Amino acid sequence: MRIQPLSEPTGISKRNIHFYIKEELLHPKTDLVNGYYDFSEEDLQQLLLIKYFRNTGLSISNIKSLIENPASAEYYLRMHIGRLEQELHALSANKDTLLSILERLPIRPDFLDLYIHTKEECALDHAISTTPLYDGKLVNHFLWRTFWQQENLSEYQQYLWDKMNRLTDSREKNEHYTKIYDYLCQQDQKIFNAFYEEGNAHFYHIASFSSETLSLHVEELKTAITEFIHTPAAIKQWKEHYYQFQLPLMHIFTGEIGKLAYEMSPFFAAYECNSIEACQIVYDWLLSEDGSELYQKVITSLDGYVDLTNFYHTELEFMNTIFKY
């Protein structure tokens, strides 16, 4: 199919189709004889999908991520819904302000009337909240979706998943989830793409450990911690994200929600068991005479941005993954 027959039924201009190709949202084949694009049925479906999502205000970059990784759909769509709700809130507040000005105005206002009443209304400071909204399901999807290996949950797994969402549906009652949500709202989408693309491979690698590969991972952790503690940029990155992301995440993993996830997902259970076992070995080594020098460097360098006593089993693994995402 050439570009003209594609453009007419979709209502998308040829210029926009070329733009989507340039932005790598579409990847049509090229006719080797005449150099024209040859669009397939799948290209048509992708183009319609782009059109639908663009009409909702979704960004080109987010649409590209959705097409490349459909499993991330819930994350990107929920994040966009949150932005739309903020916009609706702002529009509603602006509408209320204008209605109040109208109520104050005389029947035949002059410029001075308009100025005075508008100034008075605006002086009341009808604050439009810039605080991000809250979506616990979005956070749950970000944290746990990687650990669902099957397409459909069993009845009991669905019960556990519903319980996790009920327990985290309130911003006021979930301090750690709220911090994660606010953090996610501020981040570039490249972080999430890396998490979905590389995180799954990393988690699967740890979940599938044998006794031999576990020993290799222990040595990998020791090397990674040494590299981490001697890399100023990594230390800076750690401190910037520690209280907004890493510490809340560790509380979640070790709290009630983490226990439900452990019960719901055999994949997560395997990952968690192997990760804890490896980190326990490394932590014991750090407390030994052989590892004491590195342990002191970790404590000194991170200076208040580390809690190995309570969270060694997650913080040590964080030091290993900080170079990966």
Which residue, among 73, 63, 76, has the nearest Cα to 26 in the 3D structure? 63
Domain ranges (residues) in the chain: 3-55, 71-123, 136-321
For 3-55, CATH number? 1.10.1660.10
Mean of pLDDT values over 219-244: 93
pLDDT of 140 reads 93
Q: Which two tokens stand for residue 111?
A: 């410029």
Query: Which residue has 């000005």 as its token pair?
Result: 101
Q: What is the pLDDT of residues 93-137, one digit of tens each?
A: 889 889 988 988 888 889 998 988 888 887 665 555 555 578 999
pLDDT of 68 reads 86
pLDDT of 300 reads 95
Q: What is the pLDDT of residues 33-88, one digit of tens each?
A: 888 888 888 989 999 999 999 999 999 988 998 888 887 888 889 889 988 988 88
Please, which pLDDT band fits residue 292 given cuts at 50, 70 and 90? Answer: very high
Q: Which two tokens stand for residue 40?
A: 């397939």
For 107-137, give one letter per residue: b (16+ CB within 10 A) or e: eeeeeeeeeebbeebeeeeeeeeeebbbbbe
Phi-psi region of 38 (alpha: psi -120 to 50; beta: other; left: phi over 0): beta
**Could you tell me the end-to-end alpha-carbon distance of the chain, in angstroms, rounded to an integer?**
40
Residue 289 bridge partners (DSSP):
none
Residue 80 near residue 58, CB atoms below 8 Å: yes
Helix (H) or strand (E) holding 38: strand 37-38
Residue 162 near residue 215, CB atoms below 8 Å: no
Mean of pLDDT values over 187-213: 78
Please, which pLDDT band fits residue 276 given cuts at 50, 70 and 90? Answer: very high
Please, which pLDDT band fits residue 2 given cuts at 50, 70 and 90? Answer: confident
